[in-house]
Amino acid sequence: MVLNRKKTIIGIVSILILIVGISLVNLTLQEPVSENEEQNESVITGEIEKQIKENKDEKKTTFFAQYRIERERVRGKQIELLRDIINDQSQEPRAKEVASERLVAITEDIEKELKAESFIKSKGFKECVVIIMPETTTVVVESTALRVDKEEEIKKLVSSATGCSEDKVSIIIHEPE
């Protein structure tokens, strides 16, 4: 169980590092942000902050709460950097455009992850996190075991929420503490 937990944590940390690296690479491939998209991002960030606050109120911080806090911290830094680029008058127009496009992509990923997580929780899973990457989507669910039919159901739900094909969805089981 400890080995499985360590592998899961190492995997998630690796994924976070990959997300940051990919985000920096994607800075060269993006488009401007509209006022509606900024409002959507604000609503999503508020929802995440609410979840983090609820989890902080618990006596024991779970893996899932810790992951969400770290994900929000990393994204917050990315968003701050992108906004600095967008608002910097000395930046090239193309750099501003790329930063705007990346900001939109981050917002879209946040929405998709929250939607997929809600779908999974609606099927009786107490906790989960969804991690969208360019080629795959990873799901970590709290469970002691996962039947094949439940795994297929999760893949379908995540695919419908994220647009990622079912064969590109990976599921990791995190045993309850």
Strand order in the sheet with 169-174: 128-132, 137-142, 169-174
Judge whether residue 94 has pLDDT over 70: yes
pLDDT tens by residue, 105-142 = 999 999 999 999 999 999 999 999 999 998 999 999 99
- pLDDT bin (cut points 50, 70, 90) of residue 170 is very high
- pLDDT bin (cut points 50, 70, 90) of residue 176 is confident
pLDDT at residue 37, rounded to an integer: 52
- pLDDT bin (cut points 50, 70, 90) of residue 38 is low
pLDDT at residue 48, rounded to an integer: 63
Kindly list the domain boundaries of the chain, sorted by start residue.
2-174
Nearest Cα to 52, choosing from 43, 38, 39, 62? 62
CB 108 within 8 A of CB 114: no
The string of DSSP codes covering 88-105 is -TTS-HHHHHHHHHHHHH
Residue-averaged pLDDT of the chain = 79
CB 154 within 8 A of CB 171: yes
Superfamily of domain 2-174 in CATH is Stage III sporulation protein AH-like (1.10.287.4300)
